[in-house]
Amino acid sequence: MRFFGGKDKSLESPATPDSALVSSKTTSGLQPSKKGLITCHVPFETPVNPIKAPVFDLTSEQQEKYDLVVAQIGEYVQKDIPVNDLKDAPLHPVLEEELAWLTKECFLRYLRATKWKVNDAITRITDSIVWRRTFGVVNVPGHTDPKKLVTPELVEPENLTGKHLIVGYDNDNRPCLYLRNGYQNTAASIKQVQFLVFMLERVIQFMPPGQDTLALLIDFKAAPAHLNLSSRFPSLSISKHVLHILQNHYPERLGRGLFTNIPWIGYTFFKVVGPFIDPYTRLKTIYDQPFENFVPKEQLDKEFNGMLDFEYIHKVYWEAMNSMADEKHAHYMKNFRRLGGKIGLSEYDIRRNLDEEEESKPAENEPEVGSK
């Protein structure tokens, strides 16, 4: 996709690894610079603002519909299901990873996206489960073609220029995924779509407890001419393919979309693809307003009037981003098992630091501070 972009400061490995930048869990490699800015090369672990528990304020009718969806999907996952969307595809049991994807928030996202139509929500959820197997998001042992599995190794060539970046969280604790249109480094292909899906999966892993949406920040600023990188818009066919994936398999994931440095041709492009975008999604998009209005300056690059001096060094960023995401996913799966390994668990509970909370509880028979 030619939506994407980033900074091409270095496509080669640094002479010496900056272990301090990669190892810090709380500062994500932040160091003060001579200009008073904060040097940054990797994603942030946590948002600036406090974590808040979600509020599930459902009407009695909505609760009834939610319960129906959970019950029917509960029956569905007891059976073996197709390993891909081909006719007469072999069947395979539902994987633990797929059960962990079927959270309370997941069911609610699909219900909202289908305007609370139970059968439509169920159909779309089951379609997404099979799509995730087909596209290579989920690895079905013995069936998924390793060459089609969406892995860091498969998509890494797409991000040598840092055209997609996960950096910081917005004011509502949404992880920020930056797409920089001017720094496209590859020709249009399915690999670009795979890369977008890979980064969506990664940014979801960066979501903190209490947040299940992301902030998409798209910058159309051109790269410096000497880099000889593309800033063309994607073809209509690729755009429609991506929009289909986003709307059908990542519904209600976009919490906020910010666009900046839009060229005149960009508005024409938006008019062309506009009819394919869900109306509710369009309501979440904001054009040419300062990013600083929506993202804390502590986690925003100086280019957008923030306090970060962010430089993309591919080896440092790519290794750290994937390592951090893998660690967050491992934590997620550990909690999923700890909480019973069933569908319908809240992502808030699965993402919390249960070990830390357990340690902070008073020991049995030990009075709490302030108790009599």
Query: How much is the pLDDT for 367?
Result: 56
- Bridge partners (DSSP) listed for residue 222: 182
Domain with CATH 3.40.525.10 in the chain: 151-312
d(CA 214, CA 221): 22
Least Cα distance to 51 among 360, 363, 357 occurs for 357
Query: How much is the pLDDT for 262?
Result: 77
Q: Could you tell me the fold of the domain covering 151-312?
A: Phosphatidylinositol Transfer Protein Sec14p (3.40.525)
* Strand 38-40 to 308-310 pairing: parallel
Intervals of the chain under pLDDT 70: 1-34, 224, 227, 229-236, 263-277, 280, 358-372
Query: How much is the pLDDT for 139?
Result: 97
d(CA 158, CA 216): 18
Query: How much is the pLDDT for 185?
Result: 87
Residue 71, φ and ψ in degrees, nearest 5: -65, -45
